[in-house]
Structure 1
Amino acid sequence: MTGDRRKFSRQDEDTRRADLIAAAVALISEGGPAVATVRAIADRAGVTPGLIRHYFATKEALTRAAYSAVMDAMTEASLKVVAEAPARPEARLAVFVTSSLRPPVVDPAAMGLWAGFLHQMRRDADMRAAHEASYLHYRDLLQGLIADLPRKADAARLRADAIACNAVIDGLWLEGSALPDAFAPGELERIGLASVGAILGLDLAAHLPQEGNTA
């Protein structure tokens, strides 16, 4: 019984922590970091301000957790699609690129959160470290997919290709999130496939699986 109670308590704490992060994300997305005061976050989450201190030592620690949660969720969304893709390396990379350039990854709210923290990264070493960790996590995943392609490339080339391809995806993601009505359906995905394919020297679009086809 004691073990069951301990497990339930831990799950409850994880849920409460996630609720606080979600409240911070919503407020920051709506009005920037300045709007996400401790009291506002507590009101949005339906808790007292004092309870936040139980989970996060400072407001900055909570907002860093919120930033990391949003960035990690976008990466995980792309990885989930890749896990369901065909085993062919070209197909897996094509799916990774397209999933990074469509909803739910392309998202005005996520872009607003990212933009809201840009200034903070310049003066907050911990926030900069959180951004670096999320950036490197995504780039390393991308580099792994590129490394699996049937072509010869040393470590330096793989790194350079991953940086370049990541930059293309980042730029398209930013514009697609900022101006979602400025692009035709599938346009960002097609541009992303063509651009990443040009960097890597292959017709990536030709390897994109048809919807519903995992063969």
Structure 2
Amino acid sequence: MTRRAFHHEPEEVRQNALIAATLDSIAELGLAGATVREVSYRAGVTPGLIRRYFDNKEKLVAAAYRSFISDLIAMAESGCGDGPAVSRLAGLIRASVTAPVADGRTLSIWAAFIGTVNSDPVMAQAHREGYQSFRDLIEQLVGEVMAERAVPATKPDIRRHAIVLNALLDGLWIEISMGGDDFSRFDVIRIALDSVATLLGIDPAEFRE
């Protein structure tokens, strides 16, 4: 367990530290174990200070979920780099199926959060926002790939591709993060890239490094 030292930090830094302590608690203890007392201990503050920024645990958890999803998307997007759309899409795929996006700790936190989506409207909204943000990123890249290759594609066509591609990455992400033996024997990046190439009608060689 890591206890953070709190000094006279700006409010944004303090809020981020509280969110980080919340995610650490959830990763190790689950949502039930991520109490205000536990989070305050890890953050090195009093429970009263947490309530200064978040009215209750539910709002703290929702803020942590939004931050968690936003960070995952940012890490995946960081793999895009520059260059042709095909290269940027390939970079996004690689980042999405490798650590730190795909690992056991990340999956544990996500699994704890996702169990609340059907019962908590605030968490459901946070989930929709996160899903939409990542799908929009994929949709943009797919559209650019199609345009780059002069392949006729309507907006509904591109959106359908983005939905399927997102579902494909979600499935691979879960399996890889669980650390199953089946995936340890294979080149998961190649599996992901070849699958997406097939979906988009691209020669898999175009995705090769």
TM more than 0.5: yes
Picking from 36, 39, 53, the partner of 2:37 is 39
The 2-side partners of 1:36 and 1:122 are apart by 20
2:147 is equivalent to residue 140 of structure 1: no
Give the match for residue 93 of structure 1.
89
Query: 1:193–1:205: 8 Å Cα contact kept in structure 2?
Result: no
Whether 1:128 aligns to 2:109 is no
Q: Give the Cα separation in 1 of the matches to 2:14 and 2:116.
A: 26
Q: How many residues align?
A: 198
Specify the SS of the correspondent of 2:125: helix
Please give the per-residue CA displacement for 1:66-85, whole angstroms capped at 9, x wherever unaligned. 11111111111122221x33
Unaligned runs of 5+ in 2: 1-7
**C-alpha contact (below 8 Å) 1:94/1:204 kept by paired residues:** no
| TM-score scaled by length of structure 1 | 0.87
Kindly provide the CA deviation profile for residues 76-95 of structure 1, in whole angstroms up to 9, marking residues without a partner as x. Answer: 1122221x33x211111111
Q: 2:102 aligns with which of 98, 103, 106?
A: 106
Partner residue, 2:25: 27
Shift of 1:185: 7.4
Aligned 8 A contact 1:24 1:63 in 2: yes
Aligned ranges 1:144-163 → 2 under 5 Å: 144-149=140-145, 150=149, 151-163=151-163
SS at 1:126's partner residue? helix
Match of 1:212 in 2: none
Spell out the pairing of 1:187-198 with structure 2 (5 A cutoff).
187-198=187-198
For 2:186 and 2:16, the matched residues in 1 are separated by: 33
Equivalent position amino acid for 2:206 in 1: A
Contact 1:111–1:178 at 8 Å: present in 2 too? yes
SS at match of 2:116: helix
| Aligned residues: CA RMSD | 1.6
- Within 2, Cα distance between the matches of 1:192 and 1:38? 40
- Give the TM-score normalised by structure 2: 0.89
Distance in 1 of aligned mates of 2:202 and 2:47: 54
- Aligned letter for 1:200? L
- Name the counterpart of 1:178: 178
Q: Which letter does structure 2 place at the counterpart of 1:166?
A: N
Aligned AA for 1:13? E
- Report deviation, 1:63: 0.8
Runs of 4+ in 1 over 3 A off after TM superposition: none
The answer as to 2:79 corresponding to 1:117 is no
Per-residue deviation, 1:205: 4.8
Report percent identity of matched pairs.
37
2:203 paired with 1:207: no
> Counterpart amino acid of 1:156?
P
Shift of 1:47: 0.3
The structure-2 alpha-carbon separation of the partners of 1:16 and 1:95, relative to structure 1 and needing over 3 Å to count, comes to same
Paired letter, 1:125: P
Q: Distance in 2 between matches of 1:77 and 1:186?
A: 23
Given candidates 2, 16, 19, the residue that maps to 1:18 is: 16
Partner of 1:67: 65
